Structure 1
Amino acid sequence: MTTPHVEHHIQLLEHLRTILVAVADAEVVPENHHALFIERFDDMVARLRESTEDLYMGQDIISQVFQRYPQIAHLVPRDLLWFFGGDCLHFMPDEEIDKFQILEERRFEALEKGEDFNWAQELQLMFMPEDTPKQ
């Protein structure tokens, strides 16, 4: 069973997969290599559902998305870069990393106190423009 935090990221991966399939449907990439990549992508998601002990495969897959499909790099949810960490962090500016670090600290504090923490909601608040009123 996955935690709500992991499930949130699995949903983001499923969204990313639909984008990757759309890229192939638009015949923007060679089909033979793409099919193998999607197979590895699906395997990574299946493993993630079982355990988050080893995130290296996810780091590799997400990094490859940036290398293989630069035309969709801007569509990769930033959460996934933070979630997988490692080489994925090279695709994030320092300012963004700092914000995710603060968010992660808040999440751990809430877990330690036994409180609920809505990652998606807190993420939205964290990245809201400075002049936007927060609720």
Structure 2
Amino acid sequence: MNLRTQYILDSFTELKQRMFEHLPFDQTPLAEEEEDFLQKWDDLMEEIKSLSHDYLFTAQELLARLIRCYPNLTALIKRELLWFVGGECLHFLGDEELALYQKFEETAYEYEQNGQDYDIASLISELRNKETPNTITH
């Protein structure tokens, strides 16, 4: 599994854990809609682990559904996760964020071309710290 795919898997795992701390996922028993959502989430995790070529489409669908159906949980989503899965999720990012993640892609590409290792979270954090104080940081 490559670095980016592992980061996506880890981010989805962390997000699911954090969802259980908030309504409606902290309720017992869960409503049928939430049970269905979590089942689709588990299916996505298996798709990512098996490196299914369609996992990004499923990820886009689930993140968009999370934002539409559970707006109270939107703040739990790592902003870079929206970038990494792309598609409809890019519409939830602002222009400054899109520029930041484009810069991330350029920098990561340079590292890869030079055979340098890097940590995705550290690199994004470093790039955010270089932003001007008026930009959004999440």
Unaligned runs of 5+ in 1: none
**Partner of residue 136, structure 2:** none
Aligned pairs, number = 130
TM-score, normalisation: structure 2: 0.84
Q: Root-mean-square deviation (CA), in Å?
A: 2.1
Structure 1 residue 96: Cα displacement? 0.3
1:32-111 equivalences in 2 (<5 Å): 32-51=32-51, 53-54=53-54, 55-111=56-112
In 2, the alpha carbon distance for the partners of 1:25 and 1:84 equals: 23
TM-score, normalisation: structure 1: 0.86
Structure 1 residue 34: Cα displacement? 0.3
Structure 1 residue 78: Cα displacement? 0.6
In 2, the alpha carbon distance for the partners of 1:79 and 1:10 equals: 13
Unaligned runs of 5+ in 2: 134-138
The alignment-based identity, stated in percent, is 24
In 1, the alpha carbon distance for the partners of 2:66 and 2:118 equals: 29
Structure 1 residue 125: Cα displacement? 0.9
Structure 1 residue 25: Cα displacement? 4.4
| Local SS of the residue matching 1:15 | helix
